[in-house]
Amino acid sequence: MTAVTVRVPAKINLQLSVGPARPDGYHELVTVFHGVSLYDEVTVDHADRGTVTVSGEGAESVPADDANLAMRAAAALAKAAGLPPRRIPRAAPATAADGSGTGPGVLIEIRKWIPVAAGLAGGSADAAAALVACNELWRAGLSVAELAEIAAGIGSDVPFALYGGTSVGLGRGERLTPALVAGQYHWVLAFATGGLSTADVYRTCDRIRNNRGIVVAPPKPSTELMAALRSGDPAEVGPLLSNELQPAALSLRPDLRRTLAAGREYGALGGVVSGSGPTCVFLVADAQRAVDLVVALTGAGVCRSAVRATGPVQGAVLTSPTEVSG
């Protein structure tokens, strides 16, 4: 039997501009996604029925059944690829007790380092990893572009997790154009206790804008940020980080103001809430300053924990088709 393992990165948003709500409830975005070196690992293997296991960071709050985004992605791939039943054993009826469900016959093991509901697209990353891993396990032969189409149906951030790098995301965030970026950037990710619901943060954003009588214009890419990214100079990029969901995240989690202020005080070149939060991300000049900022933020007690990461990094990659005897 051959298990397949895929490693997949977290994303942060260097720009997140939010347009008005669309008739389908989603918001038109212009965002700059950036893959960073904080990874989950997903291993898939043949099984008699669909089963998900989750371990590591925040595992207890991830559904280990058919609702899991990775299992939904595997089911969507099986359907899109039209795989014959003999290649995907028929699933047993759902039995909540052991986490097995009605998805395709596949065992999905998720090992998490990306915190859950943190604005880092961890669930989307796991879904992207499952697509790449199952495509290999089942020898389905879909191209990355074909996987990206399936990915967009699972969640707005899933296509980016397939590619990684730095990309401008349009539409719900699923329409991607690679950005030209020089150099490597050093980041500190400050994790908060608890998570935020993405849908709640978007709703709060709408409410704040409504209360303030703000007329929302269509979002536009920041030419200044794109130029700064091409220059490769973190001192230019830092002040241009922006996130229009930040006021909403701060109104739901006022404690994050202290985290952002501490990052600035301890010398970050820029800092923002990542995506819908509550993780705060800080850009620093080099690896040593990242170490220093991790220590300072942790010591100041303004976050649950903090880690260093670099970016951009590539998206979901196979790390091991491991031969297992038996």
Beta bridge mates, 2: 323
**Is 255 part of the annotated catalytic residue set?**
no
Q: Least distance from C-beta 300 to ligand C5P, angstroms? A: 31
Which residues lie near ligand C5P (CB under 6 A)? 25-27, 29, 155-157, 172-173, 198-199, 202
**Is 157 part of the annotated catalytic residue set?**
yes
H or E element in which residue 198 lies = helix 198-211
Closer of 182 and 199 to ligand C5P (Cβ): 199
Q: Least distance from C-beta 174 to ligand C5P, angstroms? A: 8
Beta bridge mates, 190: 280, 306
Closer of 16 and 260 to ligand C5P (Cβ): 16
Q: Least distance from C-beta 259 to ligand C5P, angstroms? A: 23
Which of 121, 150, 123 shows the shortest CA–CA distance to 135?
A: 150
Contact 190/115 with Cβ under 8 angstroms?
no
Tokens of 139: 């020898």
Distance CA 174, CA 230 (A): 23
Distance CA 298, CA 295 (A): 5
Closer of 16 and 133 to ligand C5P (Cβ): 16
Q: Least distance from C-beta 262 to ligand C5P, angstroms? A: 28
Closer of 1 and 199 to ligand C5P (Cβ): 199
Contact 318/136 with Cβ under 8 angstroms?
yes
Q: Least distance from C-beta 13 to ligand C5P, angstroms? A: 11
- Residue 168 dihedral angles phi and psi, to the nearest 5°: -85, 130
Q: Least distance from C-beta 135 to ligand C5P, angstroms? A: 21
Selected catalytic residue, list 40, 45, 126, 157: 157
Distance CA 166, CA 12 (A): 10
Closer of 25 and 84 to ligand C5P (Cβ): 25
CA dihedral 246, 248, 254, 259 (to 10 degrees): -10
- How many residues comprise the chain? 326
Phi-psi region of 277 (alpha: psi -120 to 50; beta: other; left: phi over 0): left
Distance CA 238, CA 185 (A): 10
Hey, is 153 helix, strand or coil? Answer: helix
Strand extents, DSSP E, the chain: 2-21, 27-46, 50-56, 100-101, 106-112, 166-171, 175-178, 185-191, 242-243, 270-273, 280-284, 305-311, 317-323
- Show which residues are catalytic: 11, 157
